């Protein structure tokens, strides 16, 4: 259930961090299915004939993503649409994105919109208000997109997070702040060494690089917003492709949910990603996009109807994480 505007005798809505914990415990896994549709990788039964109009591609994306949501909604706690693939298709692509988010919510899934937004002042507030929240149109927590959480980019400065944090506090939604991303070139900025920035946390050494400095700031924000299960609605993106740094980031941010990309197609293994979880299986969600949504391209599942390949790949990932965590 998503937040709604306050009504007489309304039941208070739990924070995003607590709703995510509840969903992970209910589904007994931390799998996040990333929705990154690309026309040329769609199953043949759905792929539009090329050259295809933007409208026909958007329609194919909608069919594809809705079927995936229906196939995994009883299995996983959360999905993550990547906004760029819908923005690429213009206005109709964005309308499709809105319908996909709404359908996922109706199916009981939490939705993280992967937009990696980041800006200052009123522009950041507009991004936050656009994507985060729900409730009746015109109400204080209404969002045109209605996502439960949003990925954000802090590299313009930590002050750029303030409008997003305020929106999360007011609408019981969440953030995942880029800290240590999974791409090969991430070290160019994120691993750059720094002198002591004057940032300190009890029991921690001063940050040695930019990603650690950001992590300490995220932990400070998270610490003031801890829910009953020990985690905040302010989280971080930390890639599976750097397992040693994942372990270090878990220690630096004990109260932040971690969104872990890089599993599967990018090389991250189950034994790597469970470093982000506590003994209950909480604290991290693990994203897989290509490995699940394009499972029909994998020889292991190629003989199956494409939607059965999606479901089987999801079940296999759930089992791999469960085995690694046990």
Given a contact cutoff of 8 angstroms between Cβ atoms, the answer to whether 234 and 256 are in contact is yes
* The predicted structure's pLDDT at residue 3: 39
pTM higher than 0.85: yes
* The predicted structure's pLDDT at residue 1: 39
* The predicted structure's pLDDT at residue 6: 40
Residues of the chain short of pLDDT 70, as ranges, are 1-13, 180-204, 265-266
Examine residue 8 and state whether it is found in any structural domain, yes or no.
no
What does the buried/exposed string (b/e) look like for 116-140 if buried means 16 or more CB atoms within 10 Å of the residue's CB?
bbbbeeeebbebbbbbbbbbeeeee
Distance, in Å, from the CA atom of 265 to the CA atom of 88, rounded to the nearest integer, reads: 23
| CATH code, domain with 222 | 3.20.20.70
Examine residue 275 and state whether it is found in any structural domain, yes or no.
yes
Q: Which of 116, 180, 300, 302 is catalytic?
A: 116
Examine residue 2 and state whether it is found in any structural domain, yes or no.
no
Examine residue 228 and state whether it is found in any structural domain, yes or no.
yes
Given a contact cutoff of 8 angstroms between Cβ atoms, the answer to whether 191 and 210 are in contact is yes
* The predicted structure's pLDDT at residue 10: 47
* The predicted structure's pLDDT at residue 2: 43
Distance between first and last Cα of the chain: 30
Q: How many domains does the chain have?
A: 1
Q: Has 80 been annotated as catalytic?
A: no
Examine residue 31 and state whether it is found in any structural domain, yes or no.
yes
Distance, in Å, from the CA atom of 57 to the CA atom of 63, rounded to the nearest integer, reads: 10
Q: State pLDDT tens for residues 221-256.
A: 999 899 999 999 999 999 887 788 899 999 999 999
Examine residue 263 and state whether it is found in any structural domain, yes or no.
yes
Range of the domain at 143: 16-325
Examine residue 166 and state whether it is found in any structural domain, yes or no.
yes
């Amino acid at each position: 259930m998503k937040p709604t505007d306050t009504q007489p005798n309304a039941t208070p809505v739990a924070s995003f961090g607590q709703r995510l914990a509840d969903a992970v415990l209910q589904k007994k896994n931390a799998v996040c299915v990333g929705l990154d549709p690309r026309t040329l990788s769609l199953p043949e039964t759905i792929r539009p004939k090329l050259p295809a109009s933007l409208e026909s591609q958007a329609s194919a994306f909608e069919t594809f993503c809705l079927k995936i949501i229906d196939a995994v909604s009883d299995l996983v706690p959360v999905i993550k649409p990547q906004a760029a693939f819908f923005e690429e298709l213009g206005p109709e692509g964005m309308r499709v994105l809105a319908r996909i988010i709404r359908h996922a919510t109706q199916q009981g899934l939490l939705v993280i919109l992967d937009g990696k937004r980041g800006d200052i002042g009123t522009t950041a507030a507009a991004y936050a208000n656009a994507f985060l929240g729900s409730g009746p149109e015109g109400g204080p927590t209404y969002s045109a997109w209605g996502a439960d959480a949003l990925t954000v980019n802090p590299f313009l400065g930590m002050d750029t997070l303030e409008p997003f944090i305020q929106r999360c506090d007011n609408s019981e939604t969440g953030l995942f702040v880029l800290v240590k991303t999974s791409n090969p070139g991430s070290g160019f900025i994120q691993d750059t060494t720094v002198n002591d920035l004057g940032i300190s946390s009890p029991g921690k050494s001063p940050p040695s690089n930019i990603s650690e400095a950001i992590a300490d700031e995220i932990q400070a924000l998270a610490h003031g917003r801890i829910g009953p299960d020990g985690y905040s609605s302010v989280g971080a993106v930390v890639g599976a492709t750097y397992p040693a740094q994942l372990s270090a980031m878990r220690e630096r941010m004990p109260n932040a949910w971690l969104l872990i990309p890089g599993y599967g197609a990018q090389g991250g293994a189950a034994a790597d990603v469970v470093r982000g979880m506590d003994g209950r299986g909480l604290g991290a969600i693990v994203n897989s996009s290509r490995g699940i949504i394009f499972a029909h391209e994998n020889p292991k599942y190629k003989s199956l109807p494409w939607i059965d390949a999606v479901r089987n790949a999801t079940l296999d990932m759930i089992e791999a994480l469960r085995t690694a965590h046990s």
